A = this chain, B = another copy of it.
Amino acid sequence: MKRVAFFISDGTGLTAEALGRSLLSQFGHIDFEQVTIPYISTKEDALSVVKRINRVVEESGLRPIVFDTIVNEDIRQIVSQCKGFTVDIFDTFIKPLEKEFKADSSYSVGKSHAITDHNVYNVRLSAIDFALANDDGAHIRHYDKADIILIGVSRSGKTPTSLYLALQFGIHAANYPLTEDDLDDDYIPKALKKYKDKLFGLTIDSARLTSIRTERMSNSRYASFSQCEAEVRGAEAIFNKERVPYLNTTDMSIEEISTRILAISGIERRLQS
């Protein structure tokens, strides 16, 4: 029987999920059924959550693990009465922080969000627009406005990474696919020369690339191992010859590719929160 993990919040639940999963992943041998319950903002909501948790205890005999990031203290109190094993993030850390800051916390849901969020939204939207408009290398006329230009062979991770960089950090990421024409010699494509300082390479193991391309177009030359291997070798030759910083994305999540690019390139986030 699977152990149940609840992620409960009066907001999106994403922080409770991120923290809870990061802790649970340290117990890799246990199988968890994960349930996120966001937007618990009334006492009635909270009581129904408690019922749901207690039902799991009754039916399985196992206490669910309950990660909650409920800001409102009254609502949090109710959830803490459940029969699960609660990991109450605010209860644990807010009091010590209040002491350190010699200040009360606001303890209010979504406080001051409305003021700043439009700004954050605008920055993200503009970055997404940029990534989409500069996704295929067809146009390079906006490259002077790019924070970074990802280059690599087809399916090496450029598009997901540029979108993640946009959404998470507001970064304007263009991407330029290295095609067979570009791989003829060991130099970066002429069109990119003047943007050399903004280039960042992505590479990937040939076997993994073969598998990804096969999903897209099976039994094609494009997806064949020999083609993938030749392209990867050509791309890496360019990165090395031209000293373009690059990453091998084979075993990385999109988050890891993106944050490693920030760490290596030193480019600044346009969003701090």
Which residues of A does B touch, CB under 8 Å? Answer: 3, 11-15, 18-19, 21-23, 25-30, 34, 38-39, 63, 65, 69, 71, 85, 87, 89-90, 92-94, 96-97, 100-101, 103, 105-107, 111-114, 117-118, 120-122, 124-126, 128-129, 132, 135, 159-160, 163-164, 167-168, 208, 211-212, 215-216, 251-256, 259-260, 263, 272-273
Contact = CB atoms under 8 A, between A and B. Distances in A.
A126 B254 CA distance: 13
A132 to B, nearest CB: 7
A155 B15 CA distance: 27
Contact of A39 (B164, B215, B253, B260): B260
14 contacts: A14-B255, A14-B259, A15-B18, A15-B22, A18-B19, A23-B93, A27-B97, A27-B101, A39-B260, A114-B251, A117-B252, A121-B254, A128-B159, A163-B167
Contact of A163 (B22, B29, B163): B163
A47 B93 CA distance: 25
Contact of A34 (B71, B126, B208, B272): B272
Closest 7 interchain pairs by CB? A26-B105, A12-B259, A15-B18, A15-B22, A18-B18, A114-B251, A12-B255
A97 B164 contact: no
B21 A273 contact: yes
Contact of A128 (B113, B129, B163): B163
How many copies of this chain does the complex contain? 2
A256 B38 CA distance: 10
Nearest to A112: B28
A197 B137 CA distance: 37
A218 B141 CA distance: 21
A92 B132 CA distance: 42
A87 B96 CA distance: 9
A125 B63 contact: no
A116 to B, nearest CB: 10
A125 B23 CA distance: 26
Contacts of A254: 121, 124, 167
Contacts of A107: 26
Nearest to A264: B39
A14 B257 CA distance: 13
Contacts of A260: 38-39
